[in-house]
Amino acid sequence: MGRTRFSSGEVMSETAAVILAAGLGRRMQSSIPKVLHRVAGRPMVQYVIQAAREAGVERIVVVLGHGADAVRQALDGDCESVVQPEPAGTADALARAAPILTASPDCRQVLVAYGDCPLLTGDLFRSVIEAQRQAGAAIALVSSIVEDPRGYGRIVRDPDGGVRAIVEEAAATEAERAIREVNAGVYCFDAAWLWERLPSVPRSTSGEYYLTDLVGLAAQDGRRVCAVTAPLEITAGVNDRKQLAMAEAVIRDRVRQRLLEAGVTLVDPATVYVDATVRIAPDTILYPGTLIEGNTVIGPGCRIGPYSRIVDSWLGSSVTVDMSVIEGARVGDGTRIGPFSHLRPGAEIGPRVELGNYAEIKNARIGADTRIHHVSYIGDAEIGERVNVGAGTITVNFDSESGTKHRTVVQDGASLGSDSMLVAPVTIGRDALTGAGAVVTRDVEPGMVVVGVPARPLRRRRQSAG
């Protein structure tokens, strides 16, 4: 059982978390399980798991329902999961985790949250865990004060400030509907009390069982229910595409703030979009119109943008990317890319390479200090170091008749003339040179100059590039 630790380092309690992720999400109008909709590059449920981890909770059980297999694949590898076979309410969903957690006698607190609340934070979870422990309460819950409480369950308090009930809007009196303190759907339970009283939750008129009814059971037992208040900017859940967009805006702003605090310059933060999964080192500058997505890592001192997109790629230090797209690629230190270059999956670019206007690289390795400045396609190739690739060079890698692709090899120091066509499989030897417009269909010996269609040897190269 995971021990929850607070800033003092003291072991505060034995806590497990249950994340409810079984909902259908009908208002999303999607075949994708609601908790798998992405916010800043990550499924919503992963944010809730991360918040529980940040709060020090090690044991996490996720209750699955619609799309259980897909959701299970998106979970933290250390999470446990159970399935709610039919949607029968939140209390029924929590009960599915009981056999797992009641088997651990040292589980004294149970934190419960919804998997569609990606804005929740570890600090908030720590606060509600501590509130339950300090008060000895049956339940500590999270509430929010909102301008418009319509659609939310209202928090009804006792004169002493404790929570007496959560009243759903349909059952609320006129006075209760005027209450602006609403239920945020995060709870921390006294585990022993929870497992004893959970079977007593009554069936609602809809035939389901709701966690909010546990507040009334606590009042019957004379047990305290306390509340921790947090802003809606942290507690808001996602039920439709509009709320998904709102959550996206909040998370992306958090990412921007984290980057700024970590020494990354954002020239115009509002126009830079960085996924929560991205890592960027200090002294890198992100210019307007830049999108950085997926599991991208960017080293120090880089200049990215304007108007560039980088996805699932690794960039070393002092790399410049100007109005270009990089997908699934690795880029060495000091390389300059763009404007209008495109690195496709499998591109491996060495240090100090120059890729200029309209250079496209796919599944190819480019050696150090090589230059590809103008309107060229290099695919399925091995390009050595200090190679000059002239404007309009194409690796002809696809055999349309057989449907297979072949590799091109260009060794160190070679120079490819403008409009060279390298018909793979073919090797251009070290320090060789192809004339403008050459169509190379056979291997070229090191140091040889070839010209024509098809290319034929002309002479030895006068001055070696090596």
Q: How far apart are CA 292 and CA 436, in angstroms?
A: 38
Per-residue confidence band for 7, with pLDDT thresholds at 50, 70 and 90: very low
| Cα Rg of the chain, angstroms | 30
CB atoms within 10 A of CB 12: 17
Quick one: 9 and 52 in the same domain? Answer: yes
Bigger pLDDT: 403 or 197? 197
Q: What angle do CA 79, 72, 275 make, to 5 degrees?
A: 85
What mean pLDDT, rounded, does the chain reach?
93
Q: In this structure, is residue 287 part of a structural domain?
A: yes
Say whether pLDDT at 2 is over 60: no
CB atoms within 10 A of CB 446: 18
Q: Which residues pair with 428 in a beta bridge?
A: 410, 444
Quick one: 275 and 174 in the same domain? Answer: no
Per-residue confidence band for 403, with pLDDT thresholds at 50, 70 and 90: confident
Bigger pLDDT: 109 or 463? 109
- Section 286-308 average pLDDT: 98
- Section 52-61 average pLDDT: 95
Q: What is the pLDDT of residue 159?
A: 87
Closest CA to 125 of 78, 80, 73, 58: 58
Secondary structure of residue 180 in the 3-state scheme? coil
Is 374 a catalytic site residue? Answer: yes
Q: What is the pLDDT of residue 464?
A: 52
Q: How far is CA 165 from CA 160, 172, 205, in A?
A: 14, 11, 18
Quick one: 359 and 317 in the same domain? Answer: yes
Quick one: 201 and 297 in the same domain? Answer: no
Quick one: 84 and 153 in the same domain? Answer: yes
Say whether pLDDT at 8 is over 50: no
Q: What tokens does 399 get?
A: 């055999």
Say whether pLDDT at 1 is over 80: no
Closest CA to 272 of 25, 85, 40: 40
Bigger pLDDT: 463 or 268? 268
Quick one: 442 and 321 in the same domain? Answer: yes
State the residue range of the domain holding 373. Answer: 266-460
Secondary structure of residue 425 in the 3-state scheme? coil
Q: How far apart are CA 366 and CA 370, in angstroms?
A: 7
Q: What is the pLDDT of residue 379?
A: 97
Candidate list 66, 342, 373, 374, residue with the active-site label: 374
Give pLDDT tens digits for 341-373: 999 999 999 999 999 999 999 999 999 999 999
- Section 281-291 average pLDDT: 98
Secondary structure of residue 271 in the 3-state scheme? helix
Q: In this structure, is residue 184 part of a structural domain?
A: yes
Q: In this structure, is residue 176 part of a structural domain?
A: yes
Per-residue confidence band for 11, with pLDDT thresholds at 50, 70 and 90: very low
pTM: 0.89
Alpha helices in 262-346 (DSSP H): none
Quick one: 398 and 299 in the same domain? Answer: yes
Q: What is the pLDDT of residue 139?
A: 97
Alpha helices in 59-197 (DSSP H): 68-73, 90-95, 98-101, 122-135, 174-177, 191-197
Alpha helices in 355-454 (DSSP H): none
Q: How many residues does the chain have?
A: 466
Closest CA to 294 of 306, 279, 305: 279
Q: What is the pLDDT of residue 6?
A: 42
Q: In this structure, is residue 442 part of a structural domain?
A: yes
Q: What is the pLDDT of residue 240?
A: 94
Q: How far apart are CA 149 and CA 154, in angstroms?
A: 8
Q: How far apart are the first and last CA of the chain?
A: 63
Burial status of residue 315 (CB atoms within 10 A of its CB: 0-12, 13-18, 19 or more) = buried
Q: How far is CA 144 from CA 238, 252, 428, in A?
A: 15, 22, 68
Q: What is the pLDDT of residue 206?
A: 86
Q: How far apart are CA 448 and CA 135, in angstroms?
A: 85
Q: In this structure, is residue 260 part of a structural domain?
A: no
- Number of folded domains that form the chain: 2
Quick one: 454 and 308 in the same domain? Answer: yes
CB atoms within 10 A of CB 2: 18
Secondary structure of residue 16 in the 3-state scheme? strand
Quick one: 133 and 73 in the same domain? Answer: yes
What is the CATH number for 63? 3.90.550.10
